[in-house]
Structure 1
Amino acid sequence: MLRIESLVKKYPTGDIALQGVNLEVPDGQVMALIGPSGAGKSTLIRCINRLVEPTSGHIWLNKQDLAQLKAAQLRRARRKIGMIFQEYALVERLTVMENVLSGQLGYVNFWQSWFRRFPQHTIDEAFRLLERVGLGSFPDKRADALSGGQRQRVGIARALLQNPDLLLVDEPTASLDPKTSRQIMRLICELAQERQLSVIVNIHDVLLAQMFAQRIVGLQSGEIVYDGSPDSLTSDVLTNIYGEEDWAVTSEDDQEPEPTKSPAYEAMVQEVQR
């Protein structure tokens, strides 16, 4: 379980990105983090694994306060925190398998990582994960030859090879088409249940969040202004999170209308039908 207590992040400029955030994410739960740009979503995720240093507060992962760890302790703790990035963060010239195996770099010594010599059980698990994410036939393909959805699947497999207790996911669908976005979100949710992972997904697509997440947390100016079920995310709640907008408009309503047919076109059709 992840538990955050009174988390504050204040930048040297005086800007406050997080204002006393309190949050719990139990094992096996997929929580979507929504809010406008600048609300503190990415800062919150990066404070958890301390890619951004929190100003104050506590971040408990199981029984360990991540916010208080020194460098060596933090390196060990990060083994249990998987991270999936918006821009994939793959090494383009390496193969799919080499990128996945990089998820184990925190567990091997320098020379093993330098020569990419991993234990056989690690390699076997990497193959199993590639099968699970739908890339079983791609281990030797270079990362720069993959589509966006395939790259994201490599990132998921790499994160899971760490055998994490917590998965942090930063805008996993921002560069993907609608169908692939649904597939990636569905895969993340299925893996979270299979492995009983706590998952936080920073996502801008509210409809995707409602479709797949078990819980939604809305941030506004570094504060939690909503914490509840997807079904309770009403127009009033969305207005409180994002501001005034016609939230009753659905995705279908946003589609382009059919072009208006001219009188000449209608007359031609009538003539043909006579």
Structure 2
Amino acid sequence: MLEIKELHKRYPTGDPALRGVSLSVPAGQVLGLIGPSGAGKSTLIRCINRLVEPTQGQVLLDGQDLAHAGRQGLRMARRQIGMIFQEYALVERLTVMENLLSGRLGYTRFWPSWFRRFPSKDIQLAYSLLERVGLAGMENKRADALSGGQRQRVGIARALMQRPAFLLIDEPTASLDPKTSRQIMRLILTLCAEHKLAAIINIHDVVLATEFLPRIVGLRQGMMVYDGPATQVDHKVLTDIYGDEDWSSITDRLAGNTSTIANDFDDQMASLAAVG
């Protein structure tokens, strides 16, 4: 379980990015994090694994406070946290296989990793994950030869190479077309169910978020202003998160998603039960 308690982040300029955010994510739950640009969504995700240093508060992963962990403790904790980046964060000149194996660097000694000598079990895991994300046979392609959707699939597989307990996912569909976006969201949720992973997905597309994610957390100006079911995201909630606007076109689409959300949630629970 992840617990965030009164998390604050103030940048050296004096600008506050997070103001007392508190939330918990139980094992196996995937939630959507929404809000306007500058609301603190990416900062929150990066404070969890301390790519950004929080100013105040606690980040507890299975009881360990990551916000105050020392170098060794943080290194060990990061093994449990996979991250999927908006811009994929692949090494363009390396092959798909080499990018995947970089997900095992936290478990590999320096010299073997320097010479790219990984245990056979890691290589077999990489092949298995490539097949699972639909990229079988592409292990020798360079990352810069892939489409956006393929790159995101490599990023997902690389995160799973860590065998994490928790995923942080930053705008996974921001650069993708609508069809590919839905495929990526469906893949992420299926893999989370299969591997019993909890996750936070920072996503800017409200309709996509409410279609696939049963729980929504909304940030505005660094503060949490909504935490509840996707089915209750209405005109008032959107105004609280984003400000005054005519939300009718979006709320009409959200209303059409209600049954889909319930069905997706049931499917997630059924998948978890089957895997368990």
State the TM-score, normalized to the length of structure 2: 0.90
Equivalence map 1:180-195=2 (5 Å): 180-195=180-195
Deviations, residues 40-82 of structure 1 (Å, cap 9, x unaligned):
1011000000000001111011121101111122111111110
Secondary structure of 2:247 counterpart = coil
Secondary structure of 1:105 counterpart = helix
Query: Structure 1 runs of 4+ off > 6 angstroms?
Result: none
Aligned to 1:126: 126
Aligned to 1:30: 30
Distance 2:159 2:12 in 1: 32
Per-residue deviation, 1:93 = 0.9
Aligned to 1:234: 234
Aligned to 2:100: 100
Distance 2:127 2:88 in 1: 19
Aligned to 1:219: 219
Secondary structure of 1:127 counterpart = helix
**What is the RMSD of the two structures over their aligned residues, measured on CA atoms?**
1.3
| Alignment check: 8 A CA contact 2:214 2:231 kept | no
Distance 2:142 2:199 in 1: 28
Distance 2:205 2:136 in 1: 29
| Alignment check: 8 A CA contact 1:29 1:214 kept | no
Equivalence map 1:105-120=2 (5 Å): 105-120=105-120
Per-residue deviation, 1:214 = 2.0
Distance 2:205 2:128 in 1: 30
Secondary structure of 1:89 counterpart = coil
Distance 2:92 2:182 in 1: 25
| Alignment check: 8 A CA contact 1:82 1:168 kept | yes
Aligned partner of 2:200: which letter? I
Distance 1:161 1:144 in 2: 20
Secondary structure of 1:218 counterpart = strand
| Alignment check: 8 A CA contact 1:171 1:201 kept | yes
| Alignment check: 8 A CA contact 2:207 2:250 kept | no
Aligned to 2:200: 200
Per-residue deviation, 1:250 = 4.2
Distance 1:53 1:24 in 2: 19
Distance 1:77 1:29 in 2: 19
Secondary structure of 1:101 counterpart = helix
Distance 2:112 2:101 in 1: 11
Relative to structure 1, the CA distance from residue 251 to residue 98 in structure 2 (aligned partners, 3 Å threshold; closer, same or farther) is farther
Distance 1:145 1:251 in 2: 39
Aligned partner of 1:109: which letter? R
Aligned to 1:154: 154
Which consecutive residues of structure 2, in runs of 5 or more, have no partner in the other structure? 254-276
Of Structure 1 and Structure 2, the greater helix share is in: 2
State the TM-score, normalized to the length of structure 1: 0.90
Q: Give the number of the structure whose alpha-carbon radius of gyration is greater.
A: 1
Secondary structure of 1:106 counterpart = helix
| Alignment check: 8 A CA contact 2:234 2:251 kept | no
Aligned partner of 1:98: which letter? E
Secondary structure of 1:155 counterpart = helix
Secondary structure of 1:240 counterpart = helix
Distance 2:70 2:233 in 1: 39
Equivalence map 1:7-46=2 (5 Å): 7-46=7-46
Per-residue deviation, 1:251 = 9.6
Which consecutive residues of structure 1, in runs of 5 or more, have no partner in the other structure? 254-274
Distance 2:8 2:251 in 1: 36
Aligned to 2:138: 138
Aligned partner of 1:17: which letter? A
Secondary structure of 2:57 counterpart = strand
Total equivalences in the alignment:
253
